[in-house]
């Protein structure tokens, strides 16, 4: 694509971005369609259009937003040959959440937040703006235009206490225009005193107002810093590949291991300043020496609260889930007691004992029958013939006693308990026995009466 065509395309995208919501959607679709192409020329055009459209500080924030929206597709994110700081989103941390503390602020460095491994209430960073490089500090690379210099000194904490840093800084739009500085080229350069070199960190555009553009970086430590810019967007110096999350799903309290392979894309050994992002927010930082040969492995070991997280290192995306602990009872008293399953025999017992059996009370007449003494009968002395007749008379048959129906088991049957103060029932025979005795007496009286009647009849005949 010719330079003129690139310029026209950049103007068109910038114009669409500045229009209504429908026009901006069209701009996002143009970037996505070009990025999905298998042709190298189309993907290269995306890079050129983006750089051209964002070169004007008045378009930078809007064009950056268009490219970030288009790059939400992981495939497009990888294909788009632009720095990951430009085309990935950012959620700035909040003081007081997840251990973030405000440690410094100044006119040039808007805010410094630090996340410690433990609470550090007195920790702070002294910010001192200087106007020339200290003795012993080497000059910055050719082509870099210095905006400002700062000396950042930690106080009341050690570097090993730091999990991550978040620095928000700004530059004037007028400075960018006067020096032909591309807004995507602004860097936060850290002087590494141990190696005697400058270690650049590309700034991530995060906002603007009428006069300034705002950036953020996540440096591994504090030292001498230089804010610089250039006319061209610097190329990537390192590339991260092969994101590996172990495990991807676990209960709370488990450590997660997140690894990636880091390759040096330059001809010189350097330091890769890596950032682990969770849900678009910086979580941890780590520095890694990477030579020009085989890639090096970086490992982040983290423990998280319950939830689902999107993980990012560079342009690599992944997911992990932390499960909440199961709900448990507050104490032994809260534990439910299991109810034992009843056996068939227990069921029969319970069924049999549910209906009490009413035992009828004996009536007064029934009680009196066995106790009443029959009247004496005057029987004359029988003759020999009479004795023989009486002897030959068969004895009356006895009525069989009625047997109660047995229960299914030996469980005692509850009976009614008489109220307190009720006198006990009179002593007597059981009802069955009483009826039998009464019948026997009646039969005896009938025999005696028959005997007397026959005796008198015989006597009269004689």
pLDDT, mean over the chain: 80
Does the structure show a pLDDT above 60 at 205?
yes
Phi, psi at 460, each rounded to 5°: -65, -35
Contacts of 362 (CB under 8 A, 6+ apart): 425, 428, 431
**Bridge partner list, 271:** 289
Q: What are the residue ranges of helices labelled H in 378-430?
A: 384-392
Cβ atoms within 10 Å, residue 50: 25
More confident residue, 436 or 193: 193
The tens digit of pLDDT for each residue in 435-457 reads 566 667 777 777 667 777 676 66
Question: For residue 213, which of 239, 188, 176 has the smallest C-alpha distance?
Answer: 176
Q: How far apart are CA 288 and CA 136, in angstroms?
A: 25
Instruction: Give the mean model confidence (pLDDT) for residues 179-200.
Output: 93
Instruction: Give the mean model confidence (pLDDT) for residues 407-425.
Output: 47
Q: What is the pLDDT of residue 434?
A: 56
Helix (H) or strand (E) holding 435: helix 431-461
% pLDDT > 70, the chain? 73
Strand order in the sheet with 270-278: 249-251, 316-323, 307-313, 270-278, 281-290
Instruction: Please give the model's pTM, rounded to 2 decimal places.
Output: 0.69
Cβ atoms within 10 Å, residue 146: 14
Q: What is the pLDDT of residue 321?
A: 97
CB 171 within 8 A of CB 150: no
Q: What is the pLDDT of residue 368?
A: 45
Phi, psi at 427, each rounded to 5°: -70, 145
CB 101 within 8 A of CB 120: yes
CB 256 within 8 A of CB 311: no
CATH of domain 236-324: 2.60.40.10
The tens digit of pLDDT for each residue in 308-328 reads 999 999 999 999 999 998 877
Q: How many CA atoms lie within 13 A of 338 on its CB side?
A: 3
Specify the pairing of strand 249-251 against strand 316-323. parallel
Instruction: Label residue 407 by pLDDT band (50, 70, 90).
Output: very low
CB 43 within 8 A of CB 56: no
Domain positions in the chain: 1-82, 100-229, 236-324
Phi, psi at 152, each rounded to 5°: -105, 120
Residue 303 has which token pair? 């423990």
CB 371 within 8 A of CB 430: no
The class that CATH gives domain 100-229 is: mainly beta
The tens digit of pLDDT for each residue in 343-354 reads 554 444 444 444
């Amino acid at each position: 694509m010719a330079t003129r065509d690139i310029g026209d395309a950049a103007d068109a995208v910038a114009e669409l971005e500045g229009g209504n919501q429908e026009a901006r959607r069209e701009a996002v679709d143009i970037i996505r369609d070009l990025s999905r192409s298998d042709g190298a020329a189309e993907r290269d055009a995306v890079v050129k259009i983006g750089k051209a459209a964002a070169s004007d500080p008045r378009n930078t924030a809007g064009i950056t937003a268009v490219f970030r929206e288009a790059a939400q597709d992981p495939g497009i994110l990888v294909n788009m040959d632009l720095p990951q700081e430009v085309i990935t989103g950012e959620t700035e941390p909040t003081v007081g959440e997840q251990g973030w503390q405000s440690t410094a602020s100044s006119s040039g460095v808007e805010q410094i937040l630090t996340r410690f491994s433990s609470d550090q209430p007195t920790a702070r960073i002294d910010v001192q703006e200087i106007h020339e490089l200290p003795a012993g500090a080497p000059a910055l690379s050719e082509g870099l235009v210095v905006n400002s210099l700062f000396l950042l000194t930690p106080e009341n904490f050690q570097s090993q206490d730091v999990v991550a840093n978040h620095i928000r800084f700004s530059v004037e739009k007028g400075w960018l225009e006067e020096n032909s500085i591309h807004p995507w080229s602004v860097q936060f350069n850290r002087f590494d005193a141990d190696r005697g070199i400058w270690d650049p960190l590309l700034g991530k555009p995060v906002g603007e107002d009428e006069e300034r553009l705002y950036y953020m970086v996540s440096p591994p430590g504090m030292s001498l810093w230089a804010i610089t810019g250039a006319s061209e967007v610097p190329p990537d110096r390192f590339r991260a590949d092969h994101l590996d999350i172990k495990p991807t799903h676990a209960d709370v309290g488990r450590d997660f291991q997140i690894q990636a392979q880091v390759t040096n894309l330059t001809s010189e050994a350097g330091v890769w300043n890596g950032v682990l992002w969770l849900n678009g927010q910086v979580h941890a930082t780590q520095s890694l020496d990477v030579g020009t040969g085989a890639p090096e492995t970086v490992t982040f070991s983290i423990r998280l609260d319950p939830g689902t997280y999107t993980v990012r290192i560079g342009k690599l995306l992944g997911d992990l889930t932390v499960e909440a602990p199961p709900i448990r009872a507050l104490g032994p008293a809260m534990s439910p007691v299991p109810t034992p399953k009843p056996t068939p025999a227990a069921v029969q017992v319970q069924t049999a004992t549910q209906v009490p059996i009413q035992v009828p009370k004996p009536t007064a007449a029934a009680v009196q029958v066995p106790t009443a003494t029959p009247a004496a009968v005057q029987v004359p002395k029988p003759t020999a013939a009479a004795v023989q007749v009486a002897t030959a008379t068969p004895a009356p048959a006895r009525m069989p006693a009625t047997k109660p129906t047995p229960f299914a088991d030996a469980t005692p049957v509850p009976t009614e308990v008489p109220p307190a103060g009720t006198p006990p029932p009179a002593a007597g025979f059981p009802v069955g026995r009483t009826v039998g005795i009464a019948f026997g007496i009646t039969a005896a009286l009938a025999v005696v009466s028959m005997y007397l009647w026959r005796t008198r009849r015989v006597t009269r005949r004689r």
